[in-house]
């Protein structure tokens, strides 16, 4: 699994395609959403967590397509499937790769988010990143499975967001709530049920993906 993950990371480091698309999409979403709110309004601070998560989810939904697109070229997926490893392992490696890419993108997007929405720097960044990590993990768990499916349908660009967005609603609501609370200066203990829910979501869908991935890549 680590070898597969290293392969994906190496390919990414050479081309930087996924990272660039994730970053630019996230950035663009933040900018577009900034136009949606009056810059002088009080509402702006309240809408901030939502804006961050919309950026994460939309960039992710569009960006995850890439993770299997590259494998489609030169029949790389065939080669991967011929590896003497369990299909579930391939899934976990792919999910880990997507998780890493999305988190690296967050490292850039969050500072820009703070900058655009004029938030004080002293706020609990640890909490924000914790919620992002939990959310992105669940998102990658479902997204990687569906990306493997949608990449082989005709309308893959549309198909992935269409399938993925309704299913990640719990992640989205949880993420927005946790981020909002943390930015409002509340302790993490306040949102413990939400964190539990997100951890539960992550674990359930990692296991489901691990079990089911085999059917998604079978010829």
Partner 1 sequence: MRRLDTSLAAANLVVMLAAIYAVFVYVPTDKFQGIVQRIFYFHVPLAIMTFVAFGTVAVASALFLWRGGRGWDRLAHSSAEVGMLFCTLVLITGPIWAKPIWGTWWTWDARLTTTLILWLIYAGYLMLRSISGPGDQGARYAAIVGVVGAIDIPIINRSVYWWRTIHPAVLITREGGSGLGDPRMRLTLEICFLAFLLLFVWLVRIRNQSVHLRDRLEDMRRQVLAH
Nearer to partner 1 by C-beta: 109 or 134?
A: 134
Residues in region 189-208 near partner 1 by CB under 8 A: 193-194, 197, 200-201, 204-205, 208
The rounded distance, in Å, linking the Cα atoms of 108 and 146 is 26
Beta carbon of residue 79, minimum distance to partner 1 (angstroms, whole number): 19
Q: How far is it, in rounded angstroms, from Cα 91 to Cα 84?
A: 14
Token pair 């660039």 is at which residue? 20
Give the helix/strand (H/E) hosting 39: none
Q: Does 218 bind partner 1 (CB under 8 A)?
A: yes
**Which of 173, 169, 138 has its CA nearest to residue 64?**
138
CB-CB neighbours of 128 under 10 Å: 22
Residue 152 touching partner 1 (CB under 8 A): yes
Closer by beta carbon to partner 1, 108 or else 170: 170
**Does residue number 187 form part of the binding site for partner 1 (CB under 8 A)?**
no
Q: For partner 1, which is the closer residue by CB, 111 or 200?
A: 200
H-helix or E-strand containing 100?
helix 87-116
Residue 134 makes contact with partner 1 by CB under 8 A: no
Tokens of 94: 């792919």
Which residues of this protein are in contact with partner 1, per CB under 8 A? 142, 145-146, 149-150, 152-155, 159, 162-163, 165-167, 169-170, 173-174, 177, 193-194, 197, 200-201, 204-205, 208, 212, 215-216, 218-219
């Amino acid at each position: 699994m680590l070898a597969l993950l290293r392969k994906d990371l190496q390919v990414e480091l050479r081309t930087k395609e996924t990272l660039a698309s994730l970053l630019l999409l996230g950035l663009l979403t933040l900018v577009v959403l900034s136009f949606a709110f009056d810059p002088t309004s009080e509402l702006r601070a309240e809408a901030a967590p939502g804006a961050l998560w919309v950026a994460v989810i939309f960039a992710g939904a569009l960006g995850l397509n890439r993770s299997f697109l590259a494998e489609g070229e030169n029949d790389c997926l065939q080669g991967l499937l011929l590896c003497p490893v369990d299909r579930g392992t391939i899934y976990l490696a792919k999910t880990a790769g997507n998780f890493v890419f999305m988190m690296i993108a967050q490292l850039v997007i969050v500072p820009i988010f703070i900058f655009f929405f004029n938030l004080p720097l002293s706020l609990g960044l640890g909490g924000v990143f914790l919620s992002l990590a939990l959310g992105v993990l669940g998102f990658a768990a479902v997204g990687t499975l569906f990306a493997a499916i949608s990449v082989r349908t005709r309308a893959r660009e549309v198909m992935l967001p269409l399938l993925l967005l309704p299913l990640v609603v719990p992640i989205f609501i949880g993420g927005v709530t946790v981020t909002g609370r943390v930015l409002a200066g509340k302790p993490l203990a306040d949102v413990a049920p939400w964190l539990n829910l997100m951890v539960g979501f992550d674990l359930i869908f990692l296991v489901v993906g691990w079990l089911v991935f085999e059917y998604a890549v079978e010829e």
